[in-house]
Chain A
């Protein structure tokens, strides 16, 4: 236990020595906070409000007495309220305020339907991070499982898994994702469980099932190496079951390269999601997403720079943050590792 702790402590000590890595980490944390607290940053319900002598927090709970109140109208009246810093929802359109450049009212301007760009960027962070992180979780799980059983059991199982990896590698992944997404939705029937995937879940599913080969190959290789070590033989002699050996004795030692691959994976998944949304195959139009914003900006590129620069910069900064973390982790986890 203590040895394990000192390994991760060493990783952290080496990690925090790099300014670029710490920069990436702080951006990633800020983005995560923005995604979690999006309603507090950009929304149309007050965070705190004093009305008729009572205190409310409409953002969390709207009792019947204040439901349906026009908060914007209250702003000038004698009620006291604290609105989120950006008092607009991403989908609220206002045709009197189309294509406005950044101003005090709209810090990042408005789009062709008068929707606030800053609000769309904040809520878009939620979409990007949910897709990026969940799809990587999905494919890391698939890759860990398949890689581990292939590496540990060898023989026919390894043969089948390795062929499966090779088949997946042969398909151009972005094209495959597009083709799968073009089907619109997928129904999965597993015994008694019936799941119908569409919209944002479909994207997560598609990135997940096309992306696992890298993790699987990596884990398979690590397991092949580790299973020959003596302590694994000792565990076998002691009567440990294969699943116990794999999950308790082998995988914990193979986890560091997987963490690195997964960190880079989040960056590529976010790029993939925004690319797909850019082409109109990503999240549905009513879900705010950076790729979708860029796609709609195509018609106003010449005149409205903020519509192009803002969402693109958001994608870039997020991807860069995860890539910086991934690179620093790679160096910090194994100082001897050179690639």
Chain B
């Protein structure tokens, strides 16, 4: 087992280098000479910004040095989480991320929690009644939801449920009211929840299909196992067979799925945050792309990639913890 864990940790190194090389290369492909910037001037607001971009990038990354020296410098900066200043407002990039991250985390935790809350019972019921009318109907319904483009749904929800032309049930933009709200701490929380209802709905409905189907699939596999026949033969009530004997064993792959959700959890949805004007990671990323704020773009990409790498590692370690085939010395294909 220790052998495997050590190997798994060593494998982080090449992946980490790969991530840093890619971000480094994107910085490099970014406009370096003025003529190129002029060419794509649609997004930068004039010559002044363009020159600033070049100077700032040159200073930050020491573009006059040979390539490998530049790369090592860049690597050193990543390790120290030093991403420089934003080109837009000259604040430290890490500060901007610190402000945006909690908002995205709140939004995405809410939606992932809801996805699990709805999908698990749906998937279990579908698996138990495989091929029946309920199973077929829910799977079709979820596929329909999955196919609905979120930016379309968001536009329609805003038009018809918020803003006042039709119904004025929810606020149109932001994650909280700009004016102070009454009711102290509780009132503020309610205010945020009220603002986040529509965005959370948009983030949630599409994910239901995937997790429900996954739950259904895993459970169907478990339902074919012989120990369930044994459990039934012992006279254990069906409900208990499903939830205690079958579902528990299906939980393992479902928990590890959380690891793969990490990039989405941190990154936030560019489209939804943009439509609802929520100042989270997705919107920060999009705004930095619009204003060609390279230090911020690179910081977001790098941090997200590193956290995901860490998440993948946790998933593998979790497998070791639960899978005796690896724990007891066998090898798993990495």
Contact = CB atoms under 8 A, between A and B. Distances in A.
Nearest to A180: B26
Contact of B19 (A167, A278, A319, A327): A167
B301 interface: yes
B155 A294 contact: yes
Given A170-B15, A315-B149, A308 B286 contact: no
Nearest to B166: A302
A83 interface: no
Interface stretch (A46-54, A84-92, A104-112, A171-179): A171-179
B30 interface: yes
B322 interface: no
B312 interface: yes
Contacts of A281: 289
Given A163-B11, A178-B289, A170 B152 contact: no
Given A167-B22, A182-B292, A183-B30, A301 B158 contact: yes
B271 A278 contact: yes
Contacts of A179: 26, 289, 297, 301
Given A171-B22, A301-B158, A338-B220, A279 B286 contact: yes
Contact of B163 (A162, A302, A324): A302
Given A170-B263, A338-B217, A271 B149 contact: yes
Nearest to B36: A184
Contact of B151 (A167, A172, A294, A302): A294
Most chain A CB within a 10 A radius of its CB, from B149, B218, B270, B300: B149
Name the interface size band of chain A.
35 or more
Contacts of B156: 308-309, 312
Contacts of B333: 224
A183 B39 CA distance: 11
Interface string B260-292: 000110110011001000000010011001001
Given A275-B271, A278-B151, A298-B155, A163 B143 contact: no
The majority secondary structure among interface residues of chain A is: helix
Contacts of A278: 151, 271
Contacts of B266: 172
Interface string B131-144: 00000000110011
Nearest to B298: A179
A304 B239 CA distance: 52
Interface string A200-242: 0000000000000000000000001000000000000000000
Contacts of B39: 184
A337 to B, nearest CB: 9
A274 interface: yes
A320 B266 CA distance: 28
Contacts of B289: 178-179, 182, 281
B294 to A, nearest CB: 10
B132 to A, nearest CB: 15
A289 to B, nearest CB: 13
Given A172-B264, A178-B286, A178-B289, A301 B159 contact: yes
A66 interface: no
A112 to B, nearest CB: 16
A186 B305 CA distance: 23
Nearest to A220: B333
A167 B143 CA distance: 30
B30 A163 contact: no
B309 interface: yes
A24 to B, nearest CB: 10
Contacts of A294: 151-152, 155
B270 A175 contact: yes
Nearest to B158: A301
Contacts of A186: 29
Contact of B270 (A178, A184, A324): A178
Interface string B310-334: 0010000000000000000000011
B165 interface: yes
B144 to A, nearest CB: 6
A135 interface: no
Given A175-B304, A179-B301, A298-B155, A323 B146 contact: yes
B302 to A, nearest CB: 9
A22 interface: no
Nearest to B39: A184
A320 B312 CA distance: 31
B18 interface: yes
A317 B155 CA distance: 17
A163 B270 contact: no
Query: Which of A175, A275, A298: most chain B Cβ within 10 A?
Result: A175
A98 B159 CA distance: 21
Nearest to A164: B18
B305 A312 contact: no
B2 interface: no
Interface string A285-326: 000000100100110011000001101100110011001100
A312 B155 contact: yes
Given A170-B304, A183-B31, 7 more contacts: A167-B15, A175-B300, A178-B285, A182-B43, A267-B147, A316-B148, A319-B147
10 nearest A-B pairs in the assembled complex, by CB-CB distance: A339-B217, A312-B152, A167-B18, A320-B147, A170-B305, A172-B267, A319-B147, A338-B220, A302-B165, A170-B308
Interface of B: 11, 14-15, 18-19, 22, 26, 29-31, 39-40, 43, 139-140, 143-144, 146-152, 155-156, 158-159, 163, 165, 213-214, 216-218, 220-221, 263-264, 266-267, 270-271, 274, 282, 285-286, 289, 292, 297, 300-301, 304-306, 308-309, 312, 333-334
5 contacts: A171-B304, A172-B266, A183-B30, A278-B271, A279-B270
